[in-house]
Chain A
Amino acid sequence: MDETHPRTLSSLPEHSAESPLSVHAMTVAYHRKPVLWDVDYDAPSGALIAIVGPNGAGKSTLIKACLGLVPRASGQVEFWGRPYTQVRSRIGYVPQRESVDWDFPVSALDVVCMGRYRKIGWCRPVGRSHRRAALACMERVGMAEYAHRQISQLSGGQQQRVFLARALAQEADLYFMDEPFAGVDAATETAIVDVLRELKALGKTAIVVHHDLQTVEEYFDELILLNMRVVAAGPVARVFTRENLQKTYGGRLTLLSEAAEAVARVGSQGG
């Protein structure tokens, strides 16, 4: 836990105050089995950052651990040099589409309005100005005409765009997106890429879990290659190499995952 590694100012990299996200020595475990080892990363400001790696590499877990959705076994995460609780209003989130029940009795616009709730505050209904702002966000992803559809009547790609519009409605500076390109149609893919470029032009940062190696160079500036640990991270031009990819994807049962199995075994015997 954090208490075992008291955070001192000197242990932090100097530029962390400008970095929208800096992760330091973060380890995450599910049921005693480590899924992320000792992750260190500083995100450059205003970049489009892809997290790429094989299935089970811990891509979604990395995002969720940064956001406090899964507990960290150790390590620190800071946003612009401050803890998450102080900068929540600057962070936007696009969860995986499969993580919710789309038969929920709300319209697409209702979902996008959820991105405004933070600004609306407790116990107050969604006012007209917020509704208009939400509708404008739907327009940016090409979904305005579906605003009043019940969400189960939307296609997978349209649902994904609704989630993206909701994140835009949060008006954040740093966006986390969990597999936004998974299983979407061409129109949605284009819409997402357009929004990402728009965000970049506005000086915002996006960290995106991505699965399609073919589009990494075209869509992103920065790349984190992940397979339980950070294999390589940095500008796409430098990191996106054959050796790095082989290191990331070459065989799941590396020394590291064997070590993880061993630790889990010892842990379950001991406790």
Chain B
Amino acid sequence: MLPGISLGIGVQLEPSQLEQLRSSALATAGDRLPTLEQIIETVTLRGGYNTNLVIAGTTLLGLAAGIIGVFALLRKRSLMTDALSHATLPGITIAFLTATALGFDGRSLPVLLLGATVSGVAGVLCIHAILRFSRLTEDAAIGIVLSVFFGAGIVGLSYIQANANTSSAGLNRFIYGQAATMRAGDVAIMGSIAGVSVVTTVLLLKEFALVCFNDAFAKVDGWPVGAIDLVMMGLVVLVTVAGLQAVGLILVVAMLIIPPVAARFWTERLWLLVVLAGVIGAASGYFGSVVSALLPRKPAGSVIVLTSGSIFAISFICAPARGVIATAIRRLRLRLRIAGDHLLERAHELHTSVLPASVVDELAQRRGWSRWLRTLVIWSLRRAGMVGSMTSNGLEVLRAGMARGARVSRNHALWKQYLISYADIAPSHVDWSVDQVEHVLSDALIAELEAELTAQGIAIPAVGSAGR
């Protein structure tokens, strides 16, 4: 690990001097960028025993948290998990005070984590009790428990700081996390938790899925929903408590929730979601502690969370089916298609292969097309070989465009007729206006409509006869 440099020297400096010193210090030591050699050394796990311990610990923790987080997310318990981690604080202080009073070392990790577990679980039970015996909603119950438990923990901490004669400041690390204090034993614990998480998930994937998706059905089907829930929640508690020391109780929820949420953008398969969330969690844990090893005074916990946050942001924007860009493109395509169809339909209705600019203008105005949409529509139609160029006479509609216009017009008429003849059934499940539905009618549905209308003895409008 690189040594940090302290700026607090107790010397009075002019603000300008201070600024100068600060920038030079940043450049030389405090935030000195590591050399390539150092980076390679750390990344390839040759950065020393302690560094490797921390990297291994946070990677394993990230793996376990990512996997277990999937079920917390799918069971809609993300916020509950946050309450759980905040509710561990009073348990930590009480465990410290009790152990010290009994003459043990209050800073022993197992004792503190036991206290954390007990009060975290107590917090979750309080939420359930509030929900059961009042009419409060879950978000309110979580808000109450989270803040009250955390407040009690802070009171306990300040009491310890004021009264205990031993150095007790170490307890603060459970709030913000201090991955660098990890020892070999802690890494072994992370490893066992990761192992338990993987094995349990592999064995009980279908049971977890059933309960998360539809607990009422699971119950009727004879599955012990309460016990399965207990296993899921138990793993969440395990991962949370294990993560306290490394990333702190404020950020540990991020390790559980962000990886599965990011992974959800890339897959529709549950097992792949679990694998991806585990990989994203592990990668964030690895990257976070590598960065914090290379840049002094960068706490691993926050770098881990920022890493997974970046992966989330990339997924949110770039994912192929669910990402923002993909959604925007899809929406624009549909809009262009509908607008183009309206244009071609108009040409069909007017029986003209040259649409005068005035007609296009009128259509654009009536349909509320912006200027760029209008340009884009004509451009996309031209690219599809539906229209030619805009001449002084107007827009030339090619043969393919005329055919498409005829088809749109016909579908439109078919749909209208369908609504009329099935008025008693259709309105309950038709939520698109006639104007939009014609653009999404599949060929199969059109064939079905024709068959149904023929069977009803209703004349199908021939191509070309359907005007408005």
Contacts and interface: CB of A to CB of B under 8 A. Distances in A.
Interface of A: 31, 64, 67-69, 88-89, 91, 93, 95, 99-101, 104-107, 110-111, 114-115, 117-118, 120, 122-123, 125-126, 150, 155-157, 166, 170, 176, 183-186
A150 B268 contact: yes
Contacts, number: 86
A115 B218 CA distance: 9
Nearest to A148: B268
A105 B220 contact: no
B212 A104 contact: yes
A99 B214 contact: yes
Contacts of B210: 114, 117
A67 to B, nearest CB: 5
A123 B269 contact: no
A1 B364 CA distance: 69
Task: Please tell me the size bucket of the interface on B.
Answer: 20 to 34
A72 B4 CA distance: 66
Most buried by A among B76, B221, B269, B422: B221
Interface in B266-297: 267-270, 273
Contact of B429 (A69, A106, A176, A183): A183
Interface stretch (B59-67, B92-100, B200-208, B400-408): B200-208
A208 to B, nearest CB: 15
A1 B209 CA distance: 33
A104 to B, nearest CB: 5
A104 B269 CA distance: 9
B270 A106 contact: yes
A123 B203 contact: yes
A31 B273 CA distance: 39
Contacts of A31: 135
B206 A125 contact: yes
Kindly list the 9 A-B residue pairs having the minimum CB-CB distance in the complex, ordered from nearest.
A88-B222, A150-B268, A93-B220, A123-B203, A185-B429, A100-B214, A104-B213, A186-B425, A67-B220
B154 interface: no
Contacts of A88: 220-222
A93 B217 contact: yes
Nearest to B268: A150
Interface in B401-448: 422, 425, 428-429
B348 interface: no
B213 A111 contact: yes
B126 interface: no
B74 interface: yes
Nearest to B212: A104
Given A69-B216, A95-B214, A105-B264, 9 more contacts: A88-B220, A105-B270, A106-B209, A106-B213, A114-B214, A118-B221, A123-B207, A183-B429, A186-B425
Nearest to A176: B220
B351 interface: no
B219 A186 contact: no
A268 B221 CA distance: 35
Contacts of B223: 117-118
A95 B216 contact: yes
Contacts of A155: 429
B268 A91 contact: no
Contacts of A183: 428-429
A99 B216 contact: yes
B264 to A, nearest CB: 7
18 contacts: A93-B217, A95-B214, A95-B216, A104-B74, A104-B213, A105-B264, A106-B268, A110-B209, A114-B209, A114-B221, A117-B207, A117-B223, A122-B207, A123-B204, A125-B205, A155-B429, A166-B217, A183-B429
B214 A117 contact: no
Contacts of A122: 204, 207
Nearest to B425: A186
Most buried by B among A117, A176, A185: A117
A35 to B, nearest CB: 16
